[in-house]
Amino acid sequence: MGRMVFVAGTDTGVGKTVCAAGIIRALRARGASVCGAKPFSTGCGGGAGPEDAVRLEEAAESGEPMELLAPVRFDAPLSPLSAALLEGRETDLRRASDAIDELGSRRDFVVIEGAGGVMVPLAPCFYFLNFVAAWRPATVVVARPGLGTLNHVFLTARALATVSIPLAAVVMSDSAGAEEDPSWESNPSVVEECLGVPVFALPHLGGRPENAPRAERVFEGLVGALKACAGTST
């Protein structure tokens, strides 16, 4: 079974897909056989398809079928449980789990991208956290960089700890290209001091190619942190 990596977010729109794709490329650069998976995809209606999973596959070029990379899909741009209720369906947890296991049997690494935060419900009283706990994956938490993020990061870290999921690193992601606030400078050191894991600052990439080298260094650092967390070579 290949090693599992979980890219979790403190919220939606924080940059999980960018981070997951960057980790995939960094692992491939080390010669690893890797794929990215988005087991629960929403907002797939109107021909949109599982856009995040497609972006992960563009990074991985694994050739794995989209039925495994994005096994459970909903049309509505809602949380998986909300979309399932709206569409009169149940979330097929077994299908998603079997897809991850199948990918893991064929790859050195499977990079699993979450859906929103770790406590987003997939079914009544069953959360993404419960789903991914089956593999105890080394986890990267992606968060916004500014004021208010400390609470979100620490709540996410505590949730991961309740099911013995190891936290490898935290990424403060400027996904929106927002103006900095005073907390940007202090937040990384506070997180490192409290959680004892490395914290990386991922710059905004949209239309700013000058930030690409900095981002590549972040992804390389994340692979190193994942290696240290798992206690294995990559």
Give the residue numbers annotated as catalytic, written as ranges: 38
Give all strands (DSSP E) within the chain, no chain letters.
3-9, 34-37, 40-41, 72-73, 109-117, 121-123, 126-127, 138-143, 167-173, 199-202
Nearest CA to 78 out of 115, 128, 37 is that of: 115
Strand 167-173 and strand 138-143: the pairing is parallel
Biggest alpha carbon distance in the chain? Answer: 47
Backbone angles phi, psi at 29, to 5 degrees: -65, -20
Token pair for 98: 């079997």
- CA-to-CA distance for 74 and 86, rounded, in angstroms? 10
Give the bridge partners for 6, in sequence order.
Answer: 112, 139
